[in-house]
Structure 1
Amino acid sequence: MTQPVRILSTLAVAGMLREWLPGQGAEVVFNPTARLMQQIGEGLEGDIAILTEAGIEELTARGVLAAGTRRDLALSAIGMAVAPGTPRPDISTVEALRATLLATPNLVYSRAGASGIFFAELIERMGIAAEVNAKAIVIPQGFTAEVAARGEAALAIQQVSELMAVPGVEIVGKLPEGANTCAIFSAACFGQAQPGAQALLERLAAAMTPERLAAHGLDPA
């Protein structure tokens, strides 16, 4: 019996994969890139890895992923969501974002994800890290919008695509220019991938049309 192709994937494309994967003969493990990199280093095996561009490059250089199999899938920006029924705050400029972060009663971001690492650095640069972290819920990993959806935080910060993967929250939008970063998410096959992995990766890359990406808060890579 043919084993399902095993995909180790960043959370940023979770919504897209959950929509597309049924019937593709694959299974997926979701975690932030940093956590997957650690697990792969500890021996976690798969057939396809979907990580940040830097993560794919590092694992390819180490010989874990097969050279020549990389496909750039999507571009992702960081955004904000609010709990259901909460007024949407102004984040149109860096100063407006700063005022919103200071005024909110609480918020949530992720410790391990690329967006959480960036956000922690951002509030340091803004000079408001102490004030924001005093009222922040910092989850180890996972979807920050789930915390907001439960009404436990007024604001959630994460990749827009990750925020959109959680029902029951309202997307405010992308963080403003000057307070945002875009990440390229790429995929490649493991060096010991089973037959069929490359074909599945090619189908996935072809399925990531601009329209489908936009529906999940992503842009073409």
Structure 2
Amino acid sequence: MDRIRMLSTLGLMGAMRSLSSTYEAATGVGIDAEFAPTLALLKRLRDGEAADLVILTREGLDEMIAERRVLSESAADLARSYVGMAVRAGQAHPAIGNEAALRRALLAARSIAYSRLGASGVYFAQLIVRMGIAAEINAKATIVEQGFTAERLISGEADLAVQQISELKQVGGIEVVGPIPHELQTPAVFSAGRMAGATHAAAADRLLRYLASPEVVPVLRQSGLEP
């Protein structure tokens, strides 16, 4: 049986776990998937790690195409993802519907967990600079090197967690408050491509076609992504 090795950004972890088991059952093709932030994956790929298929942010995939590690003709945009905010289950949901409300919520929080390596963390760091509250927020922030920021809500280290909504939803015992106002963010686009040195090229191409097909849309939506 073919086994496809896939490296995927954390934002698609929920959707990919569900889609992989469906695909495996339907085709008999196994998928060995590993999940990490895009920046961590880019470093691993540049260090020579082998894979058949990668799912990265569109910018990350374009870098891999420019370096001839991923075939440009194989690239497919899979989903859009918005950055959102979560609280521990049962906690009051702060108003974050506009910039003024968001500013109040961020300044009132005891600590805010955000990621260092993920696209959401890079975006949030820029956002608080733009809002003029970076010093105050970073003085009390809980910076997560890798993994899910919402886990810091469960441990009690933070009151608010910021990450892609699809990543927040991976953690039990929390509630997603909603997206950061859409006018303040550009959604991340997650895209897939086949590695130039893929061992199972044909099988990877078939999996790519499935992941870019309309039949996966309900699973993407359920995990907090937009097709």
TM-score, with length taken from structure 2: 0.92
Query: What RMSD, in angstroms, separates the aligned Cα atoms of the two structures?
Result: 1.4
- For residues 172 and 112 of structure 2, the distance between their equivalents in structure 1, rounded to whole angstroms, comes to 18
Equivalent AA in structure 1 for residue 16 of structure 2: L
Asked if 1:210 is matched to 2:217, the reply is yes
Question: Can you list the C-alpha shifts for 1:158-189, whole angstroms capped at 9, x where unaligned?
Answer: 00111111111100000013322201100000
Aligned residue for 2:104, secondary structure, equals: helix
How far residue 67 of structure 1 moved from its aligned partner, in angstroms, is: 2.4
Amino acid at match of 2:181: P
Q: What is the CA-CA distance between 1:146 and the residue it aligns to?
A: 1.3
CA distance in 1, matches of 2:212, 2:109: 39
State the AA in 2 paired with 1:217.
Answer: G
Partner AA of 1:139 in structure 2? V
Shift of 1:208: 5.8
Counterpart AA for 1:63: R
What is the CA–CA distance in structure 2 between the aligned matches of 1:143 and 1:16, rounded to whole Å?
Answer: 15
Q: Aligned residue for 1:61? A: 66
Greater Cα offset, 49-58 or 19-28? 19-28
Structure 2 residues not aligned, in runs of 5+: none
Matches for 1:157-196 after TM superposition, within 5 Å: 157-193=162-198, 194=200, 195-196=202-203
Determine the structure 1 residue equivalent to 2:161. Answer: 156
Deviates more, 1:149-158 or 1:110-119: 149-158
Q: Which SS does the other structure have where 2:221 is aligned?
A: helix
- For residues 176 and 43 of structure 2, the distance between their equivalents in structure 1, rounded to whole angstroms, comes to 31
Which residue of the other structure, out of 79, 85, 99, is the alignment partner of 1:80?
85
1:20-63: CA deviation from partner (whole Å, max 9, x where unpaired): 21235101111111111111111111000100111111111211
User: Does the 8 Å CA contact 1:83/1:153 hold for their aligned counterparts?
Assistant: no
Identity, in percent, stands at 44
Which residue pairs with 2:134 in the alignment? 129
Q: Which runs of 5+ in 1 are unaligned?
A: none
CA distance, structure 2, for counterparts of residue 83 and residue 34 of structure 1: 27
Kept after mapping to 2: 8 A contact 1:94/1:177:
no
Is 1:198 matched with 2:197?
A: no
More helix by share: 2
* TM-score of the pair, normalised by structure 1: 0.95
2:97 to 42, 67, 92: 92
* Matched residue, 1:10: 9
Q: Tell me if the contact between 2:210 and 2:216 (Cα under 8 Å) persists in the aligned partners.
A: no
Matched, 1:219 2:217: no
Show the counterpart of 1:52: 57
Aligned residue for 2:101, secondary structure, equals helix
Q: Following the alignment from structure 1 to structure 2, what is the Cα–Cα distance between the partners of residues 63 and 127?
A: 40
Number of residue equivalences: 219
Alpha-carbon distance in structure 2 between the residues aligned to 1:187 and 1:5 = 14
Task: Return the alpha-carbon distance in structure 1 between the equivalents of residues 150 and 215 of structure 2.
Answer: 24
Q: Distance in 2 between matches of 1:25 and 1:150?
A: 35
Partner residue of 2:19? 20
